[in-house]
Amino acid sequence: MARIVKRAFKFRFYPTPEQASELARTFGCARLVYNKALEERSRAYTLEGRKVSYVQSSAALTQWKRTEELAFLNEVSSVPLQQALRHLQAAFANFFAKRAKYPTFKSRKKSRLSAEYTRSAFTYRDGRITLAKMGGPLNIVWSRPLPEGADPSTVTVSKDAAGRWFVSILCEDTIGPLDPAEGVVGIDAGITSLLVLSRPIPGLTDAAGKVANPRHERADRNRLARAQRALARTEKGSGNRAKARVKVARVHARITDRRRDHLHKLTTSIVRENQTVVIEDLTVRNMVRNHSLARAVSDASWRELRSMLEYKAAWYGRELVVVDRWFPSSRLCSACGAIQRSMPLNVRDWVCACGAAHDRDVNAAKNILAAGLAER
């Protein structure tokens, strides 16, 4: 049965100088409102033990606009400023629910530059989006069409560290489930191989069921190092330093884009080919504390891969099963069920007492699949 989901479609766009100037002012005002509201809420709680609600912050914003010092807030659309307060409210809700740390102030240099516009602050007609306070539509590169009859509810404009402008359009989309598949697969995440599957899939894995690790960060490591050395040689605060910083950001953006594109293609193929997908509950946060593995683990981006598998399985009517992180997948013989006392990371092949010869990762994938099917 088809389901309706909220889906964001992200596109590159090229603003005019006037639009870029207006958006830059909007980014700065939204950041200022967020930081000032955070300061007021922190002060009220620390000194008075009083919690400040979104409604109270919104009323304070109205008063700020009436002051001579902050009258410039009236020059930009009010909606992104209100959305900044809503984001702060959500940050506090997550903090009090112990899902996140205490909200921090946004930095002009380090924080993401973005502004969120709701329906009252933009128009969408004939495939063209015009934001409030702007005389013309955005020059968007429509790399793919929006869903038929799309009615965007939110438009988020952002600029990354590499100087690229993006617009993210949130709208409803109807996604139908895929035809039932007979395949079931267990997945063991690795570093030498990005993934090892319990069974090979033609065109996706090799004969053993292994997916090669493209190592995107390693492939561009020399280029990144040169850009970082050039940045280190520049004088702080100079124009050349700003240019060098953009060059470093472009290398990082290239690595991120290539990694995400590969993960999307990989996870889509896995979900299409299998009705049930079983993965291991990895603690990536703890793994990156190991300085010997941190760089490789981050480059593999297991957390993003799992997130993609989760929402794609939900979209397309597939089942995703997560096996407990303490399950001894590598030490368990998939043939007889015997558990080895220890299995150091440098042991890649081993022979069980029953005579079965195992590739460490393929054996782990088979055990993960068996454990997942047993939990269903």
Catalytic residues: 188, 280, 361
- Structure-token pair, residue 278: 């079983």
Detail the DSSP E strand segments found in the chain: 3-13, 113-118, 122-125, 128-131, 154-159, 165-175, 183-189, 193-197, 210-212, 274-280, 319-323, 349-351, 357-359
Alpha carbon 214 to its chain centroid, in Å, reads: 19
d(CA 329, CA 364): 5
Strand partners, 123: 130
Instruction: Identify whether the C-beta of residue 123 lies closer than 8 Å to the C-beta of residue 130.
Output: yes
Provide the β-strand partners of residue 167. Answer: 11, 157
Among residues 217, 274, 267, 224, which one has the least CA distance to residue 245?
224
What string of H, E and C letters represents the secondary structure of 214-251?
Answer: CCHHHHCHHHHHHHHHHHHCCCCCCHHHHHHHHHHHHH
Query: How many CA atoms, within 13 angstroms, populate the side-chain half-sphere of residue 350?
Result: 25
Query: Could you tell me the maximum CA-CA distance found in the chain, to the nearest angstrom?
Result: 83
